[in-house]
Structure 1
């Protein structure tokens, strides 16, 4: 990938942090003031609100990484680097989309000719390089990858086919089906009023998701193992992604919270992880657990307000640490579990679910006291005294051979509806992450949400709740992993 210099990130605790001064509207990094400039215009003394549906709200590109299968190990680094470059291209194109609204209003072909066309050409060049790298390493590249070069503009009112409460009513009485795109006065594209739902309007036991089933039940291996790794008291944040974009600075384009392993950046090797400190009480657990931060868009200028991955890419506001982070491993409904291999990598959920669709979405939002009401594509509005909950049940079926795969998914699978693993896979302890947050409830009035909270996201994903995701690298020592397995298989609750 042309970069071998190791970069060490400095934890937030050792940085000079700007005070919590309020930002001016639209301030902090990349300003999105022109994003919807053409939606509200004065004509002859009258303020005429044009249909948001006439605009292109974001850029929708096929996810090349999800389609790649046969990548030899010695080509993985190069391919991951090329895919990260593709993500940067989409970010750049989206920023151009967001800052050229006046030109778009005057030229119906501007988006196609000036943004999407050149983006397709750049993506085609990278796809060609990916195919070449795979073939050079002895693999066989898919000749049809070229078909994924082109991107589309997604209109502001286009619905996402998610698994949540698309037909729910918002507090302002408007139907939640459309995307009423507005920047809410905070200078970034999203979240919007339609991204929120009162938890009382969510039907109990109605979450429709193919993913994220709890593996354990009344039969099989019924034990649990809980590891306490804190809530990122060491202020370890960065916008890297060690699993999906190793060796690439700002590979995530959004900021992550980290607990457990304390050497988490894009340039950390397995050896680095094994030798690192850990925030876990059990020092045998050096695993890395990470997820995109939640932010309260209240005008706070965070340490990354002007940085890539932070405010420069539309992720603004006060970072909210969870009040509690419960990390629990559970068993299988159908029998014993086997040990996870060291350095096993698992990504669950999809950071690009808004544009990719919900095939890999694994988001569960709720409120404490309302745990039977789970929603996939909305942020919950919780009553006073109730915490916002993010819950993730990871894939728990392993192919028995690989600690990773070309698309970072194929080596793992979810349990089937009966709790069994697909053919060729075996059950390993299932990681379940439950994050609880103390967040002031946003208010929704006249189609706008005030002081919203939102998950950090790739810029073009518009902070949609369905893009929530979670990552894990197993760095438990052998004795501790065996203890986890024995505890679960014996039906005991351990920590």
Structure 2
């Protein structure tokens, strides 16, 4: 797992959102901060295109203690540079020729970011740690309106055409260039077994299982927010999530509102479990066909309700587990894995009847008749013992190694295993997971999000159950 350094949740890179390029000018800028809900403007991101800058924090190795203050300062500077560029974009709209935005805004922004990421790399290398490689490639930012505006226009035409076809009884087809492509699918019956043997359990293993039953989101609770990654920012995910557990979770949910929420779970678990929806892209369009998080961002087709949603907590093959802290946040997988190189990808696709033999990371399965599509997410099971979140939302938790051992300084906690199944897709290549527009619905971008809000007594029950080898829930 890519180990980013730990920072307070209040100090996060900014995301500057701007309207798409219009004829002869630049649209109005909307600046929002990717910060926690107490200090972020409560603006809904309805603009079509962002100034999109690669995340430097997500690409950093574990930052030595001696360098953290300087790295923090420079990460904060990156945030302010993006905000300043967004403000300039707004105040200069309509000025200059066709190259004005590149020459006057994006070009200078790249130069500033180049110098800043170089200072970050230098600060780390001064401690004797290896100098991070590849950071200079993160300096360039883009205004998606140039390319993305055209793409959205094509997509809109495609959707209008699809709706026209529907009137004639034909099934719509995904918009050209929006993904997925035929190469993203594979006949699971032709894939060689690839599931490794599980680690052998030691004498101190925690072999129990605790299940929390929270339903399948049959009520259709959806939104395109992500309170972990983009608190206080509406449509921060740019794709739609299913939610089970705590009711009413959105970008503005706080620990206090989560603790007081009603829940779909039968045991009083107020945790929130959410994941990108799966859509049937060969059938009728969903009601969100033209809305943010839906068709406006390339997520088209009917949202499928899982036939089952299993949320199971399991133990460690080497040690007893300790209780998760309340409000621990865990993201598993990477919604931008196809662009980020796959280091944090954790997708696992299969079909019922094949799960013990075949798990696919970068392919969707074509399942045989009578088999259901399966999505499985095994969350990180090691916790640093101190933090409930970190700057990149990853450094405070980790995966155990091949033998089931946590990294030095980390403690084993109950591991969430999320398993979703979908019927009616046997033989189909017309389904896809929701994604950011640039992620093209690649199967490797599947991911899951979890905030622990179990009452303390319930977490104690789960730990006792797992450590004593029982099956509960």
The verdict on a shared fold, with TM-score over 0.5 as the criterion, is yes
Mapped contact 1:124–1:146 kept (Cα < 8 A): no
Distance 1:310 1:117, change over 3 A: farther
Unaligned runs of at least 5 residues, structure 2: 1-31, 34-38, 87-97, 120-130, 143-171
- Find the partner of 1:412 among 390, 397, 415: 397
Which position in structure 2 is the counterpart of 1:494?
A: 472
Residue 319 of structure 2 corresponds to residue 319 of structure 1? no
Mapped contact 2:174–2:281 kept (Cα < 8 A): no
Correspondences of 1:84-483 after superposition (within 5 Å): 148-150=138-140, 186-187=175-176, 189-205=178-194, 217=201, 220-283=205-268, 285-371=269-355, 372-442=357-427, 452-483=430-461
- Give the structure-1-normalised TM-score: 0.66
Q: Following TM superposition, by how much is the alpha carbon of 1:216 offset from its aligned partner in structure 2, in angstroms? A: 8.8
SS of equivalent residue, structure 2 residue 211: strand
Distance 1:117 1:260, change over 3 A: farther
Distance 1:440 1:264, change over 3 A: same
Mapped contact 1:258–1:288 kept (Cα < 8 A): yes
SS of equivalent residue, structure 1 residue 273: helix
Q: Following TM superposition, by how much is the alpha carbon of 1:301 offset from its aligned partner in structure 2, in angstroms? A: 2.4
- Write out per-residue CA displacement over residues 361-382 of structure 1, whole angstroms, 9 at most, x where no aligned residue: 1011000011111111000000
Q: Following TM superposition, by how much is the alpha carbon of 1:303 offset from its aligned partner in structure 2, in angstroms? A: 2.4
Moved more, 222-231 or 292-301: 292-301
Unaligned runs of at least 5 residues, structure 1: 9-29, 31-58, 90-109, 133-141, 153-182, 208-212, 444-448
Distance 1:349 1:127, change over 3 A: farther
Mapped contact 2:78–2:113 kept (Cα < 8 A): no
Work out the CA distance in 2 between the residues paired with 1:254 and 1:397.
28
- Find the partner of 2:59 among 50, 62, 67: 67
- Write out per-residue CA displacement over residues 130-166 of structure 1, whole angstroms, 9 at most, x where no aligned residue: 999xxxxxxxxx99966522269xxxxxxxxxxxxxx
Distance 1:339 1:206, change over 3 A: closer
Work out the CA distance in 1 between the residues paired with 2:337 and 2:392.
15
Work out the CA distance in 2 between the residues paired with 1:127 and 1:249.
30
Work out the CA distance in 1 between the residues paired with 2:76 and 2:200.
36
Work out the CA distance in 2 between the residues paired with 1:120 and 1:217.
56
Correspondences of 1:13-52 after superposition (within 5 Å): none
Work out the CA distance in 1 between the residues paired with 2:448 and 2:410.
21
SS of equivalent residue, structure 1 residue 479: helix
Mapped contact 2:384–2:396 kept (Cα < 8 A): yes
Work out the CA distance in 2 between the residues paired with 1:192 and 1:293.
18
Q: Following TM superposition, by how much is the alpha carbon of 1:304 offset from its aligned partner in structure 2, in angstroms? A: 1.6
Q: Following TM superposition, by how much is the alpha carbon of 1:234 offset from its aligned partner in structure 2, in angstroms? A: 2.4
Mapped contact 1:82–1:126 kept (Cα < 8 A): no
Mapped contact 1:186–1:299 kept (Cα < 8 A): no
Distance 1:216 1:347, change over 3 A: farther
Q: Following TM superposition, by how much is the alpha carbon of 1:417 offset from its aligned partner in structure 2, in angstroms? A: 1.0
Mapped contact 2:370–2:426 kept (Cα < 8 A): no
Which position in structure 2 is the counterpart of 1:41?
A: none
Work out the CA distance in 1 between the residues paired with 2:282 and 2:410.
46
SS of equivalent residue, structure 1 residue 486: helix
- The root-mean-square deviation of aligned C-alpha atoms, in Å, is 4.0
Work out the CA distance in 2 between the residues paired with 1:227 and 1:116.
55
Work out the CA distance in 1 between the residues paired with 2:295 and 2:348.
26
Q: Following TM superposition, by how much is the alpha carbon of 1:330 offset from its aligned partner in structure 2, in angstroms? A: 0.4
Distance 1:375 1:126, change over 3 A: same
Work out the CA distance in 2 between the residues paired with 1:334 and 1:370.
27
Distance 1:483 1:188, change over 3 A: same
Q: Following TM superposition, by how much is the alpha carbon of 1:258 offset from its aligned partner in structure 2, in angstroms? A: 0.5
Q: Following TM superposition, by how much is the alpha carbon of 1:313 offset from its aligned partner in structure 2, in angstroms? A: 0.6
SS of equivalent residue, structure 2 residue 259: helix
Work out the CA distance in 2 between the residues paired with 1:339 and 1:360.
25
Distance 1:81 1:227, change over 3 A: farther
Work out the CA distance in 2 between the residues paired with 1:215 and 1:272.
39
Work out the CA distance in 2 between the residues paired with 1:349 and 1:80.
28
Work out the CA distance in 2 between the residues paired with 1:216 and 1:400.
25
How many residues end up aligned between the 2 structures? 372
Distance 1:367 1:431, change over 3 A: same
